[in-house]
């Protein structure tokens, strides 16, 4: 044993992280005895670390009486409702969202504003004001926002939105614009694609289902994106460009796609493909127009939905065969159109996925709904604090 202070301090930080992550991963409050057993640390060490975590508002004590028994309550430790929080900002086709979550991923603030101007500086300036309001609202609940992550409807390369056709954006330096819009708030910022962040949100929402560690979340809309979760982690690809399911080829001889290729999934299953030139009235959503036409039995809409479901199933079958993913979440516009799509998607998966005879691929509508990406973006705080809880404690003494 050495008395080297730097080494002692490093050991203290490692043990503190170990204990905090046990509380983070637990489904129920943990007693100090359970924490000692789970980490292999001594009771005095656990007691000292828990005191630090309590003082730093990372965990809180809760009295629970198992099975409703009377008597002295058992004291458990669980994630605090105060302390660090994350801000998620989302640019959606119908507006801008700002969401604050606490360490347990509970939504503590959610605001929405219509999207009146898609010009990037104007959008970021509006988001900057929403962020300031969210930080103030969080502070009123004794929450300190430490991260801000922006979800955009397109692939992001080193903070630059390469292409987001829904907004008319190309090579927009979103990370720089976000930093400028949020200057003075002192937040750790990041930008990622809507599909990646929605998949992150879905991973948290289904976290109680520990068996669900491999899935693809496919988000429909003006553009189609996908977030891929493998081994319980979001996979982004070499430059964060993975998940461009919309440009997976369904038919090499198909219709031209704006990407320069032909027969991409996008040309079958995006909202413009499903609308088939139908104009969306002011105040209505594209999905409501498609659903109305489908319910009325309009043959061209029913044919478009069938073609979209088939193309989506073919594209997803390739993903499942290659990666062994066994669950598909239909998100974004696909969640709203789920009743018209899921049977067709399932039929293609059953026919085309090799392992489907033994383990059928499950197709489910996304569980969170339109706020999935904003929530997933806000959850960056969990990753940041759990990676180094000592840093939070040191900065908030």
Sole binder of Zn ion in the list 60, 82, 144, 261 (CB under 5 A):
261
Residues in contact with Zn ion, total (CB under 5 A)? 5
**247 Cβ contact partners less than 8 Å away, ≥ 6 residues apart:** 257, 259, 261, 264, 265, 266
Q: With binding defined as CB under 5 A, does residue 257 bind Zn ion?
A: yes
Q: And the tokens for 189?
A: 């910022």
Q: With binding defined as CB under 5 A, does residue 272 bind Zn ion?
A: no
Shortest distance (Å) from residue 171 CB to Zn ion: 18
Shortest distance (Å) from residue 219 CB to Zn ion: 16
Q: And the tokens for 133?
A: 């309001």
Beta carbon nearer to Zn ion, 194 or 223: 223
In this chain, which stretch among 162-170, 260-268, 280-288, 388-396 interacts with Zn ion, using CB under 5 A? Answer: 260-268
**29 Cβ contact partners less than 8 Å away, ≥ 6 residues apart:** 62, 64, 76, 77, 78
Shortest distance (Å) from residue 20 CB to Zn ion: 44
Beta carbon nearer to Zn ion, 60 or 318: 318
| Burial call 359-370: b when 16+ CB within 10 Å, e when fewer | eebebbbbebeb
- Binding to Zn ion, residues 54-83 (CB under 5 A): none
- Nearest CA to 250 out of 307, 203, 322 is that of 307
Beta carbon nearer to Zn ion, 17 or 154: 154
CA distance 212 to 197: 17
Q: Specify whether the CB–CB gap between 250 and 256 falls below 8 A.
A: no
Beta carbon nearer to Zn ion, 167 or 363: 167
In this chain, which stretch among 83-91, 213-221, 255-263, 341-349 interacts with Zn ion, using CB under 5 A? Answer: 255-263
3-state secondary structure of 358: coil
**To 10 degrees, what angle do helices 299-323 and 286-295 make?**
120
Shortest distance (Å) from residue 307 CB to Zn ion: 16
In this chain, which stretch among 3-11, 247-255, 272-280, 350-358 interacts with Zn ion, using CB under 5 A? Answer: 247-255
Q: Specify whether the CB–CB gap between 143 and 83 falls below 8 A.
A: yes
Q: With binding defined as CB under 5 A, does residue 247 bind Zn ion?
A: yes
Q: And the tokens for 187?
A: 């937040």
Shortest distance (Å) from residue 157 CB to Zn ion: 17
Distinct helix (H) and strand (E) counts, the chain: 15, 15
Backbone torsion region of residue 299, taken as left when φ is above 0, otherwise alpha when ψ lies between -120 and 50, otherwise beta: alpha
Beta carbon nearer to Zn ion, 170 or 233: 170
Beta carbon nearer to Zn ion, 127 or 245: 245
In this chain, which stretch among 50-58, 261-269, 338-346, 381-389 interacts with Zn ion, using CB under 5 A? Answer: 261-269
3-state secondary structure of 171: strand
User: Greatest CA separation found in the chain?
Assistant: 79
CA distance 123 to 96: 8
Beta carbon nearer to Zn ion, 59 or 271: 271
Beta carbon nearer to Zn ion, 130 or 226: 226
Shortest distance (Å) from residue 376 CB to Zn ion: 25
In this chain, which stretch among 115-123, 252-260, 315-323, 348-356 interacts with Zn ion, using CB under 5 A? Answer: 252-260
CA distance 12 to 44: 13
Sole binder of Zn ion in the list 24, 259, 291, 356 (CB under 5 A):
259
**139 Cβ contact partners less than 8 Å away, ≥ 6 residues apart:** 145
User: Per-residue contact track with Zn ion, 277 to 306, x per CB under 5 A?
Assistant: ------------------------------
Shortest distance (Å) from residue 270 CB to Zn ion: 10
Q: Specify whether the CB–CB gap between 79 and 33 falls below 8 A.
A: no
Sole binder of Zn ion in the list 250, 264, 311, 382 (CB under 5 A):
264
Q: With binding defined as CB under 5 A, does residue 251 bind Zn ion?
A: no
Beta carbon nearer to Zn ion, 31 or 261: 261
Instruction: List contacts with Zn ion (CB under 5 A).
Output: 247, 257, 259, 261, 264
């Amino acid at each position: 044993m050495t008395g080297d202070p730097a080494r002692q301090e490093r050991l203290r930080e490692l043990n503190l992280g170990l204990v905090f992550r046990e509380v983070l991963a637990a489904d129920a409050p943990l007693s100090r005895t359970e924490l000692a057993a789970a980490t292999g640390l001594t009771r005095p060490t656990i007691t000292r670390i828990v005191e630090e975590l309590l003082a730093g508002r990372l965990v809180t004590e809760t009295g629970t009486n198992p099975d409703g028994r009377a008597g002295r309550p058992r004291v458990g430790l669980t994630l605090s409702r105060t302390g660090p929080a994350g801000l998620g900002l989302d640019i959606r086709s119908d507006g801008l969202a700002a969401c604050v979550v606490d360490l347990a991923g509970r939504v503590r603030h959610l605001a929405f504003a219509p999207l009146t101007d898609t010009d990037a500086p104007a959008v970021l300036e509006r988001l900057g004001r929403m962020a300031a309001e969210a930080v103030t609202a969080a502070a009123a609940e004794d929450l300190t926002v430490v991260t801000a992550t922006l979800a955009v409807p397109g692939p992001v390369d080193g903070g630059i939105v390469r292409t987001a056709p829904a907004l008319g954006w190309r090579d927009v330096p979103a990370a720089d614009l976000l930093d400028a819009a949020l200057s003075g708030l002192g937040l750790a910022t990041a930008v990622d694609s809507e599909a990646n962040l929605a998949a992150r949100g879905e991973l948290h929402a289904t976290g109680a289902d520990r068996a669900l560690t491999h899935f693809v979340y496919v988000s429909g809309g003006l553009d189609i994106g996908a977030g891929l979760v493998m081994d319980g982690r979001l996979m982004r690809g070499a430059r964060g460009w993975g998940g461009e399911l919309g440009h997976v080829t369904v038919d090499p001889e198909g219709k031209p796609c704006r990407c320069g290729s032909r027969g991409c999934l996008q040309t079958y299953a995006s909202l413009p493909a499903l609308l088939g030139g139908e104009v969306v009235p002011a105040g209505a959503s594209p999905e409501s127009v498609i659903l109305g036409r489908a319910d009325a039995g309009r043959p061209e809409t029913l044919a478009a939905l069938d073609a979209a479901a088939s193309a989506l199933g073919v594209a997803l079958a390739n993903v499942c065969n290659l990666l062994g993913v066994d669950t598909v979440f239909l998100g974004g516009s696909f969640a709203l159109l789920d009743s018209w799509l899921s049977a067709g998607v399932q039929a293609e998966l059953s026919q085309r996925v090799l392992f489907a005879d033994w383990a059928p691929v499950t197709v489910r509508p996304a569980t969170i709904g339109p706020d999935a990406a904003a929530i997933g973006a806000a959850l960056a705080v969990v990753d940041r604090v759990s990676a180094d809880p000592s840093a939070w404690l040191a900065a908030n003494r």
